[in-house]
Structure 1
Amino acid sequence: MAEVSQSAAPVGPEAQYQRFLQEGRFMLQRSVSTGRYVFYPRVAIPGTGETDLEWVEAAGTGRIYAITVNRSRNASHNVALIDLDEGVRMMSRVADRETAAIGSRVRARVLEEDGQALVVFDVIDEVQA
């Protein structure tokens, strides 16, 4: 009996996104037909259902939409919603500071923390409150 070759299972969008981050690349999905970006990685664009998604390098710039600080006895860290210039919003954090002004311009960078690659943002133009 001939041995059947088993091909590797297809890699899902989240796993592909994580692989890009491990390579130090911040990538987003974009519909080939409409040019619309989507984040968090998925197989189809919500609401319209386009499945012709390709991976493209993110510009990596955006604005802080909202930010909050979580404090504990041992440390504090922020959680920020960032409106990327591509028109999608993502949750992340602003690095190397406790907080920043809403509306401030930020730039992404890939950081490895506890063996996991993730996207954090640095303030490049702070809005004065």
Structure 2
Amino acid sequence: MDLDLLKTPGPTITALTAPFWAAAEEGRLSIQHCEDCESAIFYPRPICPHCWSQRLVWKDGSGRGHLKSFTIVQKPGHPGWIPVAPYAVGLIELEEGPTMLSFILRDNQEELVIGSAVEMIPTRIGGRTLPAFRQTQSQGKGMI
């Protein structure tokens, strides 16, 4: 099934999150960086959670990371996702440091492996471009 045809609710876009969603629509992963302590920050916030600075800027991330954890969703919480169930969502530890929750692209037979390298693949889901991730290499046996 084409993920773009899903009838799913879109993200709530606010003034704070607009730069993230605009970058996603352009196929980029943009995350906040603190100009004082140099920490990378995700999810978007008005102040740095590390040093409390308000000097946050948006920078493009590498789009690379590692699969920290995942689950296979058998019964979606929203009926719009039923056509693609079962599907995977996972915690991605970005190369820059923060962790984000994301849709994991995979073939139904592909085993997901915690710790495997992943890369962002801009993906049309429900009429929007979202940052989804895919494993970049086969890691052998894993748990699904």
Same fold (TM over 0.5): yes
Q: Please identify, of 111-120 and 78-87, the stretch whose mean Cα deviation from structure 2 is larger.
A: 111-120
SS of the residue corresponding to residue 136 of structure 2 reads strand
- The CA deviation string for residues 83-110 of structure 1, in whole angstroms up to 9 with x for no partner, is 0110100000220334511010000121
Equivalent position to 2:59, from 50, 56, 60: 56
Identity within the alignment, %? 26
TM-score, with structure 1 as normaliser: 0.83
Corresponding position of 2:124: 112
Match of 2:79 in 1: none
- Give the alignment of 1:81-96 within 5 angstroms: 81-96=91-106
Q: Residue 38 of structure 2 is aligned with which of 35, 40, 47?
A: 35
Which structure is higher in strand share? 1
Which consecutive segments of 4 or more residues in structure 1 shift more than 4 A? Answer: none
Distance 1:78 1:22 in 2: 22
Alignment pair present for 1:44 and 2:47: yes
Q: Could you list the runs of 5+ residues in structure 1 that have no partner in the other structure?
A: 1-10
1:127 Cα shift? 2.7
TM score, norm. by length of structure 2: 0.75
2:91 aligned counterpart, secondary structure: strand
Match of 2:65, SS state, is strand
C-alpha separation in 2, matches of 1:56 and 1:128: 34
Which residue is equivalent to 2:9?
Answer: none
Structure of higher RCO (CA pairs closer than 8 Å, 6+ residues apart): 2
Count of aligned pairs: 119
2:107 maps to a residue whose letter is R
Alpha-carbon distance between aligned partners in 2 of 1:31 and 1:126, rounded to the nearest angstrom: 35
Q: Note the C-alpha offset of 1:48.
A: 2.4
Structure 2 counterpart of 1:123, one-letter code: Q
Instruction: Structure 2 unaligned segments of length 5 or more: list them.
Output: 1-13, 76-81
| Larger radius of gyration between Structure 1 and Structure 2 | 1
